[in-house]
Structure 1
Amino acid sequence: MKNLFLHTSCLLALLCVSPVLFANSSDTAFINITDTVTDAGLQLPAGFTASIIASGLDGARHLAITKQGGIYVKLSRLKDGKGIYYLKDTNGDGLVKVQYGFGNYPGTGIFIKNGYLYASSNEDVYRYKLNGRGEVIAPSQPEKIVEGLVNRNRDNSKSIAVDDNNNLYVNCGSYSNSCLVNIGSLKAPMPCPLLDSVGGIWKFKTNQLNQGYKDGVRYATGFKNIVGLNWNSHTHSLFIMHHGRDQFHDLYPQLYSEERANSQPAETMYELHQGSDGGWPYVYYDNKLHKKIVSPEYGGDGVEEGGAIIQNPVVDFPAHLAPNGLLFYTGKLFPAKYRQGAFIAFHGKSPEMKKGYLVAFVPFTKNKPSGEWEIFADHFASDPASQPKPCGLAQGPDGSIYVADDAKGNIYQVGYKR
């Protein structure tokens, strides 16, 4: 960080605010931070602790953490005109000392790989060169590597991941729930015309500027919307969390009771390879029947099985939980059962379970899911006056994990006492 100076202030004459470093640039913004760390009050397995290390970052979506412990937070709503905030504890006492914002675009995706910070708006993907301290060198001069992706203001987050071979994977969610593109009709066209630009994952190069659809590869198709995705460095493959569709009872009450619609379709985890097909909008995965069922828009009656060549999920979860974050744990701080396993941040609530807004865990053995999923962190919404919604997940260099809440703007740190 160059040309930084120290600033100390007090908020409302009540909260003493810790020192904040300012960059000498009109392209960065700053927010005050308190000098206390708040106990998060989460329900966790024995031995785990959680604290709120930052708050007020409304719209905090995904996170990326440097080897030096700096935290980049991507916002879906601009704060003081900025869509990315950098947080840093400079002396290891758990308090954020550095906090500044840059990037004039909202969005969800953010990822660190090979000396670059990658960040997305709802249409484009940018990259920023990092210095040896993990800090962005030129926050006002990012390189645009992907542009012109579809944004119709629904399921438009361009979540991203980067592999070990300079490939960038970008979600392009569908703005249609089930490809009902003909007004007034409850039958969808075959093939679904939207799949040329949404409903899947596109692959681009990380080192090529100004790429568009014509320069990329449709890596996977048949997925309505993917907010949580991550590259698994052990399997050398991309894993995703698929948001299932809705409106079964609203549109087809003769086939789906309200109760059944509340339990369908499953939220699902997939391991992807080039050419993977999840079947949307033609079929969906029923986690009660454990089958792929033909969608009513394509003539299904709610029980007819279909999609014989469509990929099966590796894990399924209750409907409407809205998985927004995915993290594979590679640290050594947590007990052995968590190593190589998957943490998932659920941003919604299951009517069937009558709960939600939680972080779940899926154990992995030999690179495959090896047991039932379980609730890892709960009670984000225990206060009736607030409604935190877990969204982003990241792992710190010490092995703790961080959770972003995009409703209240909290950043949680979860650790373990040996």
Structure 2
Amino acid sequence: MFTGFKYTLYTAFILLPLLGMSQEIPKANLVQQGPLLVPTGFASKAIIEDLGKARHIVATPEGNLYVKLAKPVDGKGTLFIQQENGKAKVTNGFGDYGGTGIHLSDQYLYTSSNEDVYRYKLNALHEVIDTNAPEKIIEGLIDRGQHNSKSLTMDNEGNIYVNIGAYSNSCQIKDRQRGSMGMPNCPILDSAGGIWKFRADKLEQGYGDGQRFGTGLRNVMGLDWNNKTNELFVMQHGRDQLHGVFPDQYTEKQSAELPAECMYVIEQGDNAGWPYIYYDGFQKKKLLAPEYGGDGKKEVKDKYIDPVAVYSAHLAPNALLFYTGDQFPEKYKNGAFIAFHGSWNRAPEPQAGYFVAFQPFKDGRPNGEWEIFADGFSGSPENTAKGRADHRPCGLAQGPDGSLYIADDVKGTIYKITYTK
């Protein structure tokens, strides 16, 4: 566990907003309070370590945590962490499958593998009654190794939304191969590359029992239901390798800075355009993808929805959480926290990300510049630039007292951020 390193954020991260604001944000004014850099008045603490590859997390009304592991540890893919007298410890583990998705309702805990979604009945204290008796509510979802995590969220009408990522970078005939064109009428979209909607109270559902709620989404790791607006918000991982696949059309620098990572509001039947388009945050336009005849200039104005906010390329938004608590200052109320897992493909530019950001909202939509809220996960600026992070933020949860929890999927640390001022 790293502790005590201090540095000032050394570069301005790029914001490419839709609202005409500055394309750059100022250096974040963060201070070292605990293991992380956070705004003045906040404090961070690592409440538990070495859990395994901790992905998404949820907090119970009693202040305990459920953590989904990408890979089971000692045969346990979901961990139950109890907190008492300022100390956290694992008191239970269950489910012999790895995965990412986890969601808590009053009566059930929902978890996902990379192919299926399960639910566990809870008691009045939101503890799983029988860890050996999960019910499979969704089965047989596409898992071909690439973008295969199944993230989850629910609305208030008993529907569960599942990301089914595209098992491709850009639907080429030969995936990620130089010069290979896109497959006509991309067949991947029939079963992946979108958000599917299922009932949370029906067992053994397959594709035929669900609805393709939104399509044209390459991969959505972070999604959350906004209870204030009653809408589904998602964060898309943008495509890779514009230069690697079409070197005559894109420079290495352009490939490092394009396309934008996008936040969308998804309604039934929406199409965000993957693989046919990508969003260029510098031009503030939807552009035709090179695999489908684009040249970095051809604009696509209609047919596909616009993002509601855009962010720097390749930061990998792995979690989205609307903050509804009362502990943090008023500016955070109903805004969104985003866990940026960090890049691997911004060369020759330095790698970036490895932080949790905050996006202000007003009247149910992003409003104003986003800011880095928690940093220092990587261990040092040099680690960040090289893409060799000690820790990488992956999951977010809000505690009953309004604290923010962050899961790290490198070393399995869970952080807690509180407002102390």
TM-score in terms of structure 2 length: 0.87
CA distance in 2, matches of 1:208, 1:367: 31
Equivalent positions of 1:30-179 (< 5 A) are 40-90=34-84, 93-179=85-171
CA distance in 1, matches of 2:132, 2:251: 52
- Structure 1, residues 309-348: CA drift from partner, whole Å, max 9, x if none? 2111111000000000100000000000000000000001
- Structure 1, residues 104-160: CA drift from partner, whole Å, max 9, x if none? 000000001131100000000000111011100011110000000000011100000
Per the TM alignment, residue 89 of structure 1 is displaced from its structure 2 partner at its CA by 1.1
Structure 2 CA distance for partners of 1:86 and 1:197, relative to 1, 3 Å: same
CA distance in 2, matches of 1:244, 1:206: 29
CA contact under 8 A between 1:229 and 1:239: conserved in structure 2?
yes
Shifted more, 408-417 versus 344-353: the winner is 344-353
Equivalent positions of 1:377-396 (< 5 A) are 377-383=374-380, 384=383, 387-396=390-399
Structure 2 CA distance for partners of 1:97 and 1:182, relative to 1, 3 Å: closer
**Residue 368 of structure 1 pairs with residue 365 of structure 2:** yes
**Residue 261 of structure 1 pairs with residue 255 of structure 2:** yes
Per the TM alignment, residue 190 of structure 1 is displaced from its structure 2 partner at its CA by 2.0
CA distance in 2, matches of 1:208, 1:68: 28
SS of equivalent to 1:297? helix
SS of equivalent to 1:58? coil
Per the TM alignment, residue 63 of structure 1 is displaced from its structure 2 partner at its CA by 0.4
Structure 2 CA distance for partners of 1:147 and 1:307, relative to 1, 3 Å: farther
CA contact under 8 A between 1:342 and 1:362: conserved in structure 2?
yes
Amino acid at match of 1:173: G
Per the TM alignment, residue 299 of structure 1 is displaced from its structure 2 partner at its CA by 0.4
SS of equivalent to 1:355? coil
CA distance in 2, matches of 1:78, 1:97: 17
- Alignment partner, residue 322 of structure 1: 316
SS of equivalent to 2:379? coil
The unaligned stretches of length 5 or more in structure 2 are: 1-32
CA distance in 2, matches of 1:336, 1:295: 41
1:347 pairs with one of 341, 349, 368: 341
Equivalent positions of 1:176-195 (< 5 A) are 176-182=168-174, 186-195=180-189
- Percent of aligned pairs with the same amino acid: 52
CA contact under 8 A between 1:89 and 1:98: conserved in structure 2?
no
**Residue 272 of structure 1 pairs with residue 266 of structure 2:** yes
- Alignment partner, residue 199 of structure 1: 193
CA contact under 8 A between 2:79 and 2:90: conserved in structure 1?
no
- Structure 1, residues 344-386: CA drift from partner, whole Å, max 9, x if none? 0000138357531000000011111111111000111125585
CA contact under 8 A between 2:238 and 2:314: conserved in structure 1?
yes
CA distance in 2, matches of 1:151, 1:75: 17
1:294 pairs with one of 251, 265, 288: 288
CA contact under 8 A between 1:386 and 1:408: conserved in structure 2?
no
Per the TM alignment, residue 77 of structure 1 is displaced from its structure 2 partner at its CA by 1.1
- Alignment partner, residue 230 of structure 2: 236
Per the TM alignment, residue 411 of structure 1 is displaced from its structure 2 partner at its CA by 0.3
Per the TM alignment, residue 307 of structure 1 is displaced from its structure 2 partner at its CA by 4.7
Per the TM alignment, residue 40 of structure 1 is displaced from its structure 2 partner at its CA by 4.1
SS of equivalent to 1:181? coil
1:284 pairs with one of 247, 259, 278: 278
CA contact under 8 A between 1:358 and 1:378: conserved in structure 2?
yes
Equivalent positions of 1:304-319 (< 5 A) are 304-319=298-313
CA contact under 8 A between 1:57 and 1:410: conserved in structure 2?
yes
**Residue 409 of structure 1 pairs with residue 415 of structure 2:** no
SS of equivalent to 1:89? strand
CA distance in 2, matches of 1:89, 1:259: 46
Per the TM alignment, residue 97 of structure 1 is displaced from its structure 2 partner at its CA by 4.1
- Alignment partner, residue 332 of structure 2: 338
Structure 2 CA distance for partners of 1:133 and 1:114, relative to 1, 3 Å: closer
Structure 2 CA distance for partners of 1:271 and 1:353, relative to 1, 3 Å: farther
Aligned length: 378
Shifted more, 181-190 versus 111-120: the winner is 181-190
CA contact under 8 A between 1:294 and 1:307: conserved in structure 2?
no
Per the TM alignment, residue 99 of structure 1 is displaced from its structure 2 partner at its CA by 2.5
CA distance in 2, matches of 1:177, 1:104: 30
Flag the structure with larger Rg.
Answer: 1
Per the TM alignment, residue 181 of structure 1 is displaced from its structure 2 partner at its CA by 2.9
SS of equivalent to 2:353? strand
CA contact under 8 A between 1:110 and 1:117: conserved in structure 2?
yes
Specify which structure has the bigger relative contact order, considering alpha-carbon pairs within 8 angstroms and separated by 6 or more residues. Answer: 2
Per the TM alignment, residue 100 of structure 1 is displaced from its structure 2 partner at its CA by 2.0
Structure 2 CA distance for partners of 1:262 and 1:78, relative to 1, 3 Å: same
CA distance in 2, matches of 1:222, 1:394: 27
Shifted more, 224-233 versus 343-352: the winner is 343-352
